[in-house]
């Protein structure tokens, strides 16, 4: 297995040349065109305040360290949220290439749109829809040279060295495999390198976070964990129930990810993870990605969601299990994320996941609103709060890389 050892060198500038998704086709002839949300300056999201000296250090860090997003959806949704269902049913999701070109992010775990892929059904998570969604995105990727699909550790090095953005194909749940373990092999063959076991609703592998009773990992779930270990697919338990997560951590021979969540000790909802799950993940060498999707990582001190509440979760988890076991999985996209949550509230069990303390709804998460701005502001916050260059390098990417070097084959 090839290990990356040259992450202290200056990365190549991003090599974006203006490509837009599906520009090789004829809009409104080969596909229905939609007015899409702006990839930059859509809302007045504020940069984290820094001194001139701190800002210079931020840019030096972003130019010199590996930056990995453990969970995002770098696609663009329609400017008019009412068009989202028609847009999704077409199965042709636009990637935010221009926004990504400003991001300084080297690798993104791209979670496709599996739960909202509605080509053949109204409920998502169907095998045919997953393949359709993935195939369309891969076709678009094949017609440009700014993003590259990452399947190996060497591919991460190549993305870093060449000024491209590496895309790790990821699914948020194994629900589409149904009871067919060999479908994991098919997904691996297509390039999938990370997968959640369960989304909010239970499936054949285990219980999701909306279930009142968590029966833990099923026998099929145990088979799936073993097969994912054998194949080299990283395991994610961000959306599973607590017992299912603990079982998966115990059964897996490799470290696992909690790609996008927060600490339940700070915000008591099912969407957040309790201390025992966070500790178990870290004890087996895993990494926790702190998320920032609207109205998730809130706290009693910060009931209006912003980068401050997100970073309170970061510091709590870092203090609980150490900086070696924390990273960031912002879970953002290009467009109105709040409206998207409202549209898919029932389908994605968002209401069930957010039952808990009262909070103030915000139109966007200030400071960490989309994949283009996230890591600029995360790095500014870390610099402004006294973290060392070595500590920042760990949480921006090196911790995730360590796990991948153990999991990927």
Q: What's the pLDDT score for residue 356? A: 77
Radius of gyration of the CA atoms of the chain, in A = 19
Identify the residue whose tokens are 């910060």.
Answer: 302
Total residues belonging to the chain:
409
Q: Which runs of consecutive H residues, i.e. helices, occur in 15-169? A: 52-64, 84-90, 97-101, 127-142, 153-162
Model confidence pLDDT, tens digit, residues 124-161 = 899 999 999 999 999 999 999 999 999 999 999 999 99
Distance of CA 269 to the CA centre of its chain: 20
Model confidence pLDDT, tens digit, residues 238-265 = 999 999 999 999 999 999 999 999 999 9
Model confidence pLDDT, tens digit, residues 195-207 = 999 998 999 999 9
Count the Cβ atoms, other than its own, within 10 Å of residue 234.
28
Q: Which two tokens stand for residue 290?
A: 């702190």
Tell me the C-alpha distance between 152 and 154, whole Å.
Answer: 5
Domain ranges of the chain: 65-407
SS3 326: strand
Distance of CA 11 to the CA centre of its chain: 22
Residue 121 and residue 132 in contact, taking contact as beta carbons nearer than 8 Å = no
Q: What's the pLDDT score for residue 2? A: 43
> What would the CATH number be for the domain defined by 65-407?
3.20.20.140
Q: How confident is the model at residue 350 (pLDDT cuts 50, 70, 90)?
A: low
Q: What's the pLDDT score for residue 353? A: 63
In degrees to the nearest 10, what's the CA dihedral of 55, 61, 64, 66?
-130
Look at residue 312 and tell me whether its pLDDT is greater than 70: yes
Model confidence pLDDT, tens digit, residues 16-59 = 999 999 999 999 999 999 999 999 999 999 999 999 999 999 99
Query: In terms of pTM, does the model score above 0.75?
Result: yes
Tell me the C-alpha distance between 124 and 126, whole Å.
Answer: 6
Model confidence pLDDT, tens digit, residues 395-408 = 999 999 999 999 99
Tell me the C-alpha distance between 78 and 334, whole Å.
Answer: 9
Tell me the C-alpha distance between 244 and 191, whole Å.
Answer: 26
């Amino acid at each position: 297995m090839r290990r990356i050892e040259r992450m202290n060198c200056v990365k190549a500038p991003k090599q974006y040349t203006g490509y837009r998704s599906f520009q090789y086709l004829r809009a409104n002839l080969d596909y229905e065109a939609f007015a899409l949300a702006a990839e930059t300056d859509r809302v007045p999201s504020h940069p984290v305040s820094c001194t001139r000296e701190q800002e210079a250090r931020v840019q030096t860090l972003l130019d010199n360290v590996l930056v990995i997003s453990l969970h995002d959806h770098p696609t663009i949704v329609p400017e008019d949220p009412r068009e989202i269902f028609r847009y999704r049913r077409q199965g042709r999701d636009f990637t935010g290439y221009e926004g990504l070109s400003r991001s300084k992010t080297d690798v993104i775990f791209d979670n496709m749109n599996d739960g909202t892929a509605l080509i053949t059904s109204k409920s998502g998570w169907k095998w045919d829809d997953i393949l359709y969604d993935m195939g369309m995105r891969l076709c678009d990727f094949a017609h440009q040279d700014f993003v590259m699909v990452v399947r190996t550790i060497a591919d991460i090095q190549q993305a870093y060295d060449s000024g491209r953005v590496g895309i790790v194909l990821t699914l948020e749940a194994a629900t589409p495999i149904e009871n067919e373990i060999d479908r994991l092999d098919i997904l691996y063959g297509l390039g999938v390198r990370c997968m959640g076991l369960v989304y909010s609703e239970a499936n054949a592998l285990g219980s999701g976070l909306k279930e009142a009773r968590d029966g833990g990992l099923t026998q099929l779930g145990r088979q799936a964990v073993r097969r994912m270990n054998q194949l080299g697919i990283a395991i994610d338990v961000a959306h599973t129930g607590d017992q299912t997560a603990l079982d998966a951590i115990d059964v897996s021979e490799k470290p696992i990810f909690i790609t996008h969540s927060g600490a339940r000790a700070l915000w008591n909802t099912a969407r957040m993870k309790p201390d025992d799950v966070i500790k178990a993940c870290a004890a087996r060498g895993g990494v926790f990605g702190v998320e920032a999707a609207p109205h998730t990582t809130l706290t009693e001190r910060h009931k209006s969601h912003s980068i401050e509440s997100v970073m309170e979760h970061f510091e709590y988890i870092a203090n609980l299990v150490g900086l070696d076991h924390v990273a960031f999985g912002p879970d953002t996209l290009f467009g109105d994320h709040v409206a998207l949550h409202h549209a898919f509230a029932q389908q994605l069990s968002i209401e069930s996941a957010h039952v808990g303390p009262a909070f103030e709804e915000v139109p966007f998460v200030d400071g960490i609103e989309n994949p283009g701005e996230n890591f600029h502001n995360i790095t500014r916050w870390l610099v402004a709060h006294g973290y060392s260059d070595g500590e920042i390098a760990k949480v921006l990417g090196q911790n995730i890389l360590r796990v991948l070097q153990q999991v990927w084959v």
